[in-house]
Amino acid sequence: MKIVLIANASASSVTARTRVVIQKALSADHDVELAETTRRGHATRLARGAAASGADVVAVLGGDGTLNEAANGVAGTDTALAPLPGGSTNVFARTLGLPEDPVHATAVTLEALDSGSIRAIGLGSANERYFLFHAGVGYDAAVVEQVEKRGQLKRWAGHPLFAFSAVDTWLRHYDRSHPHFEIEVHEAGDDRMSAEPIRDGYFAICLNTDPYTYLGTRPFRVVPSTDLDSPLSIVTVQSLSAIRLASLAARTLRSDDGISSGRGVTVHRDVYAATLTAPTSVPWQLDGDHLGGVTELELRWEPDIMRLVVPDGRRIPRLDPVL
């Protein structure tokens, strides 16, 4: 196979030695080309070029942001994506069941390639940019923004930094005095029936997979039924009270049942499309990558849009091999 290995040297778990070991391991039985990112958005260009040149697989050694960029480069092509965890959290790779050590993950990926374990998966899209596991609007994106402002700390204190930033953002960096947006959701089948619009959103999470993220080894199980072959799920939080947020965090960390609709929160499952509008700009993020502000966001589910190298023997419900 022809493999292009995209590596982000700035990612939390990536070292020169790791890159060399992984490149040698992949090169034992495959034709491998190394491409290193040098700036934001570079992985998309590299992945798109790899697909255009006929690469069978784009392997990505980096964090979730680099992986998202590469996914946007290969989605809709015959080139498959292979995640190799190199960031601080590695949500998507862990969701697939890959080991957290990138060298061990490479061994698992090689086994998957040998057995032809490559599948078609669905992705979410937000304003025509794909996301692998989630998109966030409002408070959650404001937290990501604060984390990125302390980028040098992220390499050494990733999870504590996120916890600190969540509290700091709530206290100082996000307006809790009024709702920020409204959202209209289309769900449950081809009729595209529109649910009652939510007009008092403080923040929303649109999920393509579950969990939403991890705190250390513990997953945030938000909507556990969401997987790579089902439509999206959207959780809209309509209150930013400390009690409400603490209750939601505790429920997602301590239970495998996730969140249900109730006071201050609305959950939509099997979402095919949604439209979010805001009177003024609100922050948004995709797969943990802050993208600035937005006043309108079109969310869609894109089934069978990308080929993915799946760890051999790991169960991803209802996915059929791509021949």
pLDDT tens, 219-266? Answer: 999 999 999 989 999 999 999 999 999 999 899 988 888 999 988 999
Say whether pLDDT at 312 is over 50: yes
Contact of 81 with 27, CB cutoff 8 Å:
no
pLDDT tens, 30-40? Answer: 999 999 999 99
Q: Which two tokens stand for residue 189?
A: 């089948």
Question: Distance between CA 189 and CA 272 in Å, rounded?
Answer: 8
Q: Which of 79, 72, 78, 71 is nearest to 33 (CA)?
A: 79
Q: Which two tokens stand for residue 106?
A: 């490479």
Domain extent listing, the chain:
2-116, 129-303
Tokens 């995640």 identify what position?
A: 83
End-to-end alpha carbon distance in the chain: 15
Average pLDDT over every residue of 97-118? 96
Look up the pTM and report it.
Answer: 0.91
Neighbour count for residue 27 (Cβ, 10 Å): 14
Question: Distance between CA 309 and CA 314 in Å, rounded?
Answer: 11
Classified as helix, coil or strand, 51 is helix
Per-residue pLDDT band for 194 (boundaries 50, 70, 90) equals low
Question: Distance between CA 15 and CA 313 in Å, rounded?
Answer: 29
Return the pLDDT at 191: 47
What's the CATH fold of domain 2-116? Rossmann fold (3.40.50)
**For residue 181, how far is the Cα from the chain centroid?**
22
| Structural domain 129-303, CATH architecture | Sandwich (2.60)
Return the pLDDT at 188: 60
